[in-house]
Amino acid sequence: MNLSVDFLGYKMKNPVAAASGTFGFGYEFAEFYDINVLGSLSLKGTTKEARYGNPLPRIAECPSGLINAIGLQNPGVEKVISEEIPRLATVYDGKVIANVGGHSVEEYVYTASRFNDCDKVFAIELNISCPNVKGGGMAFGTDAKIAQSLVYSVKKIVKKPLMVKLSPNVTDIADMARAVADGGADAVSLINTLVGMRIDLRTRKPVIAVGKGGFSGPAVFPVAVRMVNEVCKAVSLPVMGMGGISSAEDVLEMMMAGATAVQVGAANLVNPYACKEIIEALPAAMERYGIRDLKDIVGACR
């Protein structure tokens, strides 16, 4: 039985990666289990300068999910490279994905380029779809022409494979995928969070300090499966699928939709062992559905 997959030239021992923003810089979870079981992980969203993020409160629970408005809190790219990644390397042997955010084309280009000489990083994930950052993030991810231009600018300077994280908050996800493909993207990841809101009945004000945030969790899974399938039909780029994955069966379904690999996000915030348990359950799930090699099911539902 073969669980390994090849993604952007990197052989992942299994298709499960921890999603950016839900797994810190990785080493935090090493206190719970040996994170070497992971196929890979996407580092916490990184910007040029350190960011505190949005004001508190910035988490709201929902039925079958949660809303977050963290706002890309991180120590800045220089400290991520000099401190966070070396610390991760002491507990994780594999290579990782660097998730890059920004407020301008220049900031995206600078931050992405700083990972060029970082051996621990095998790919750059360009986050053009964060709904929690004013003046950036989703502003780039909802306009096809702007997204294409941004990707083109970053692709000219980065040496590593470039994956673009797409927003579901668009009219046509396939058009966005085609735009970033035309800009030079080597892969896409999707979906990022939907936009949601909760209201405190006592105060009659939003639970989240900034009003709204990114909605994720099991409730978004059917939307994610549909969008991954549409993107895989629209472009020939490899896809890393995400959005509400919380079981081995979800992994198989997302791969049948067209994803070569997946990211597990919100589930990590509910259960710190989520990735480990999903990976451990994969062989039995494959056995139940007569799957010997995961590569054989990628895009099976076309």
- Catalytic residue positions? 130
DSSP the chain: -B--EEETTEEESSSEEEPTTSSTTSGGGGGTS-GGGSSEEBPPPB-SS-B--SPSP-EEEETTEEEE-----B--HHHIIIIIHHHHHTT--S-EEEEE--SSHHHHHHHHHTTTT-TTEEEEEEE---TT-TTSTHHHHS-HHHHHHHHHHHHTT--S-EEEEPPS-SS-HHHHHHHHHHTT-SEEEE--PEEE--EETTTTEESSTTS-EEEESGGGHHHHHHHHHHHHHH--S-EEEESS--SHHHHHHHHHHT-SEEEE-HHHHH-TTHHHHHHHHHHHHHHHTT-SBGGGGTT---
